[in-house]
Amino acid sequence: MKRQLQATVVKNAGSHFLLSPLPAWKPFPAVLRGKVRLEGSASTNPVAVGDEVLCEYDDEPSEKSPAIITRVLERRNHLVRRSTNLSRRSHVIAANLDRAVIVVTLYFPEIKQPFLDRILVSCEAYGVKPLIVLNKMDLYGSEAPDEVARFLDIYRQAGYRVIPASVRTGEGIESLRGECSSGLSLLTGESGVGKSSLVKALDPSLSPKVGELSAVHLQGCHTTSLYEMYPLSCGGFMIDTPGLRGFGLSGLEAAETASYFPEMLRLSGKCRFIPCTHTHEPGCAVKEALERGEISPERYNSYLGMLEEDGKFR
Ligand SMILES: Nc1nc2c(ncn2[C@@H]2O[C@H](COP(=O)(O)OP(=O)(O)OP(=O)(O)O)[C@@H](O)[C@H]2O)c(=O)[nH]1
Ligand SMILES: [Mg+2]
Ligand SMILES: [Zn+2]
C-alpha cells in the first residue's frame, strides 16, 4: 500500500533530495519521478529547496528505498538566476521564501556593488523581501568607518534594512535572529562572505561547513556546494547556499528595471515624459533626485549597467 505525504524540500543534492514535513524536522530521502523532471524544462532544476511537494512511499523512506516526488505544488514565490546573461536556462535558487538575507563584506572579499544591486532587483522582481547583512564588521578597523557609513547610507536611503554584523564579535547577530525567527529565510551572496558562519552564529548547535579564504586573493573557496535548509532553535528555517559567482537577471523587461529600484519607483509618475528611461529625457525626476544626492550615483550606475546589458543580450 503506497502512502502519500506533503513535505518540503530541505536539501537538494542534484538528483537526490531530503524532504521534511515542516514545521516538523524529520528529514527523509527522496528522488524525482522522471515525468516531474521534464515538466520544468525551462529551468535547470524543476525542484528547489523550499518547494512543497507530494511524495509517495511504501514503508519508512530510506537511502535504499527513497520516497518518490510525484508533484511540485504551486510556489508562493521563488528566486531565479541565469548562470550567465547569455544562457537561456535559468536556475531556481529556492522557493516559498519569507525573506532573502543578502550577505556582503566591504573587504575580504571586496564588495561588488553592482552584483548586490542585481540580487536586490531580482528580489523585487520575484516578490521576495530582501535584507542586507554587512558582515565582518570586526575587520574594517578605524580607516573604514567612512566607507561603512557610506554603504549604510546608500542602501538605507534606497529603502533597505541593513544589519551591520560580525560573527567574531557577535555584533548584529541578535537583530538577525529576530528577523529570521519565523518562516523561511534564504542566505545568499558571494563565496567567503560568511553565510555558513552566520548559520552557526544564529544557532551554535548547527554545524554547516565553514571554509578559509584563499590566501592569495582573499576570496572564498566555494566551501558550501549544496542548497540546504537548517532548523534554527529560534524558530525559523534558514537555507544556506553555495556562493554565487555572478547573477544573471532572468526575463526582466528594460522598462520594468527602474520599478525594481525602490528609490526610483517612489518617483514614478513625476518625470515629464512617461514612460521615461531616466537616461536622456528632459524633466526627469530621477535625474533631478540624483543631482540633489537623493539617489546614489552607485545605484544609478548599476541601473544603467542593467539597461545596457539588457539591450546587448536581447
Ligand atoms: N573576521 C571575520 N571573519 C569571518 C566572519 N564571518 C565569517 N568569517 C570567516 O570567513 C571565512 C568564510 O566563511 P564561510 O562561512 O565559509 O563563508 P560562506 O559565505 O559560507 O562561503 P561559501 O560557502 O564558499 O559560499 C571563514 O574563514 C570564516 O571564519 C566575521 O564576521 N569576521
Ligand atoms: Mg558556505
Ligand atoms: Zn525619468
Mean pLDDT of 272-295: 95
- Other beta carbons within 10 angstroms of residue 145's beta carbon come to 10
Residue-wise pLDDT for 64-121, tens only, equals 999 999 999 999 999 988 766 556 678 899 999 999 999 999 999 999 999 999 999 9
Q: Using a 6 Å CB cutoff, which residues line ligand 1?
A: 135-136, 138-139, 166-168, 191-197, 210-213, 220-224, 242-243
Pair (61, 208) in one structural domain: no
Residue 40 CA, ligand 2 centroid: distance in Å: 27
CA angle 105, 107, 112 (to 5 degrees): 65
Ligand 2 being an ion, which residues bring their Cβ within 5 A of it?
195-196, 223-224
**Is 231 a residue whose pLDDT tops 80?**
yes
Q: Which residues of 38-52 are buried (b: 16+ CB within 10 A; e: fewer)?
A: eeeeebebbbbbbbb
pLDDT at 249: 79
pLDDT at 295: 96
Residue-wise pLDDT for 232-280, tens only, equals 999 999 999 999 887 877 767 767 899 999 999 999 899 999 889 999 9
pLDDT at 216: 72
Pair (157, 176) in one structural domain: yes
Nearest by Cα to 307 from 268, 253, 251: 253
**Is 15 a residue whose pLDDT tops 50?**
yes
Residue-wise pLDDT for 37-71, tens only, equals 555 556 778 899 999 999 999 888 988 999 999 99
Residue-wise pLDDT for 188-204, tens only, equals 999 999 999 999 999 99
Give the gyration radius of the chain's Cα atoms. 21
249 part of a folded domain: no
Cβ neighbourhood burial of 237 (10 Å; 0-12, 13-18, 19+): buried
Pair (146, 281) in one structural domain: no
Name which residue sits closest to atom 10 of ligand 1, judged by CA: 194
- Other beta carbons within 10 angstroms of residue 152's beta carbon come to 16
Pair (89, 232) in one structural domain: yes
Mean pLDDT of 161-187: 98
Domain that holds residue 261: 254-313
30 part of a folded domain: yes
If one counts the domains in the chain, the total is 3
Percent of residues in the chain assigned helix, strand, coil, to nearest 5: 30, 25, 50
Cβ neighbourhood burial of 83 (10 Å; 0-12, 13-18, 19+): middle
Name the closest ligand to CA 135.
Answer: 1
Name which residue sits closest to atom 26 of ligand 1, judged by CA: 212
% of the chain beyond a pLDDT of 90: 73
Residue 271's Cβ-side half-sphere holds a number of Cα atoms within 13 Å equal to 20
Q: Could you give the 3-state DSSP secondary structure of residue 154?
A: helix
Q: Whole-angstrom Cα distance, residue 69 to residue 37? A: 10
Pair (231, 83) in one structural domain: yes
Q: Which atom of ligand 1 is nearest to the CA of 242?
A: 25
Name the closest ligand to CA 167.
Answer: 1
Element (H, E) at 164: strand 162-164
For the four alpha carbons of 107, 206, 236 and 43, in that order, the dihedral sign comes to positive
Q: Which atom of ligand 1 is nearest to the CA of 103?
A: 19
Ligand 3 being an ion, which residues bring their Cβ within 5 A of it?
271, 276, 278, 284, 286
Pair (260, 171) in one structural domain: no
**Is 314 a residue whose pLDDT tops 50?**
no
Q: Whole-angstrom Cα distance, residue 277 to residue 265? A: 12
Residue 234 CA, ligand 1 centroid: distance in Å: 22
64 part of a folded domain: yes
166-170, 220-224, 292-296, 306-310, range with the lowest pLDDT: 306-310
Pair (83, 43) in one structural domain: no
The cell 530541505 sits on which residue? 10
Pair (99, 146) in one structural domain: yes
Give the dihedral of Cα atoms 244, 247, 248, 251; nearest 10 deg: 110
Q: Whole-angstrom Cα distance, residue 303 to residue 309? A: 10
Q: Which of 148, 187, 207, 210 to mutate to test the pocket of ligand 1 (most atoms within 8 A of CB)?
A: 210
Residue 259 CA, ligand 1 centroid: distance in Å: 33
Name the closest ligand to CA 274.
Answer: 3
Name which residue sits closest to atom 12 of ligand 1, judged by CA: 192
Q: Which residues of 116-126 are buried (b: 16+ CB within 10 A; e: fewer)?
A: bbbbbbbbbbb
Pair (46, 97) in one structural domain: no
